[in-house]
Amino acid sequence: MKKTRDILTIGFALFAMFFGAGNLLLPPFIGMQVGQHIWITILAFGLTGILLPFFGVLSVTNAGDSFNDLGNRINKNVAAILGTIIMICIGPLIAIPRTAATTYEVGILPSFPTSQPIWTSISFFAVTWLFSIVPSKVVDLVGNILTPLLLLLLIILISIGITQPIDNPDISSLSTMDSFSLGFTEGYQTLDVLASVIFAGIIITATKSKGYTSTSEKNKIVIAAGALAALSLLIIYGGLIYLGATSGINDIEIKRSELLIHISKSLLGKYGTLAIAISIALACLTTAIALTSAFGTFFNQLTQNKVSYKVLVTICCIFSCGLSIGGVDTIIQFAYPPLAFVYPIVITLVLYFVIFGQIIKSKAPYIGALIGSTIVALLGLLKALNLLSEKTLQLLNYIPFFEYDLGWVIPSALLFLIFYIVDKIKT
């Protein structure tokens, strides 16, 4: 009984940590664009938004107790550098400011059209700071109190949208492959693969604090909780993509927040604005608390306690508050280039350690895979910044799947194999 209760608490906490601003706004917007290609898009978005984050938690669990244990399997400097890039992206640069901006645009602005985002941001981060300042309470607070209410509200919205759809899905101009690519790459914007390798440390610490100290017990609880979180995400993501496809809207210029408000009002009437405001506030607050706590813990450990956890949490909240005033769409547009660079690298690290980590102990093949994905990711960054000529882009499109932003897949696999063979010959 205790084990089941602990799995539910930790699993729901992990779901809420993953399910933040982007996770609520992105799926309906994707669904609106793909029209009849709903199922292939759910599959694609599920790969980067659900399966890979689960693998991220699994890779850290297999490696040890934190992202440093995973990164150290290659090189301790790589762990520090990559961990810092990830933590800045999912912390005060992109993900945390986006939570406050979403709360304002979807939760506050529709009811108070003359309000200013600065006051919402200050209030939001004051609450975030209060709940983050004691890291040991984060998992229980999120898993036992905030997540069940969030899930209930979203399931009601999705259930009504499935049984009484607003409209039929439009015929999309996108091909099946284009829809798959859109779902796959938009999954980057959830930031969940990046967050998973950091959140894993919080979940493992919480698991140990509940008495599961042996490696076997720890792994079983973390994997079960991760599976529960993944199933919850699949239900919610799939439902939200369907709501977007049946929203009756086909204007790609519409703001993501406006689309979500339209859906909630159409399905829930006068209560739609209130329901979505509460859902947004809960989703964003749980994620902001978890990310702020993770930011403080990571850099406190990286500086070997030279900078205190409380000081780091305070700095994170102040910086995030300032950036959040720019608005959701501005943050999302700004986020794509850095995410296009770091995502393939983290996915490579996670995938290869989950698949081969127990079989291949040598560092060389993993270094090869990371070299391959890093080179292609750098080219992808230049493409995202429009710094490549048409001729160069035409040449790069000879790399398999490069035009779909998946060019890292084959080079990382080839270099993994080459470095493995060379290492075997040497030894």
**pLDDT tens track for 302-328:** 888 899 999 999 999 999 999 899 887
Which of 84, 96, 16, 23 has the alpha carbon at shortest distance from 346?
Answer: 84
Q: Helices H, strands E: what count in the chain?
A: 20, 0
Report the percentage of the chain scoring pLDDT > 90. Answer: 19
Specify the pLDDT at position 144: 60
3-state helix, strand, coil split of the chain in percent (to 5) is 80, 0, 20
- pLDDT tens-place string over residues 37-51: 899 999 999 888 888
* Confidence at residue 318, expressed as pLDDT on a 0 to 100 scale: 95
- What is the chain's length? 427
Residue 274, both tokens = 């209130």
Q: Say yes or no to pLDDT of 59 above 90.
A: no
Q: Domains (ranges, CATH) in the chain?
A: 2-326 (1.20.1740.10), 327-427 (no CATH)
Region 139-159: mean pLDDT is 73
Q: Is 362 helix (H, G, I), strand (E, B) or coil?
A: coil
Average pLDDT in the 374-392 region?
Answer: 85
Task: Identify the pLDDT of residue 122.
Answer: 94
Q: Which of 285, 294, 361, 239 is nearest to 83 (CA)?
A: 294
pLDDT in tens, 408-421: 889 999 999 999 99
Tell me: pLDDT of 146 over 90.
no
223-276 confidence digits (pLDDT tens): 898 889 889 889 999 999 999 999 888 887 888 878 888 898 888 887 877 877
Contact present, 177 and 404 (Cβ < 8 Å) = yes
Quote the crossing angle between the two packed helices 192-209 and 328-356, to the nearest 10°: 60
With CA atoms as reference, report the closest residue to 101 among 334, 254, 330, 339: 330
Residue 308 has a pLDDT of 92
Q: In this model, does residue 141 exceed pLDDT 60?
A: no
At residue 15, the 3 state secondary structure works out as: helix
Q: Which two tokens stand for residue 99?
A: 């939570």
CA–CA separation, 212 and 270 (whole Å): 47
User: Can you say whether the dihedral through the CA atoms of 249, 252, 255, 256 is positive or negative?
Assistant: positive
Quote the mean pLDDT of the chain.
Answer: 85
Distance CA 368, CA 349 (A): 11
pLDDT at residue 306, as a whole number? 92
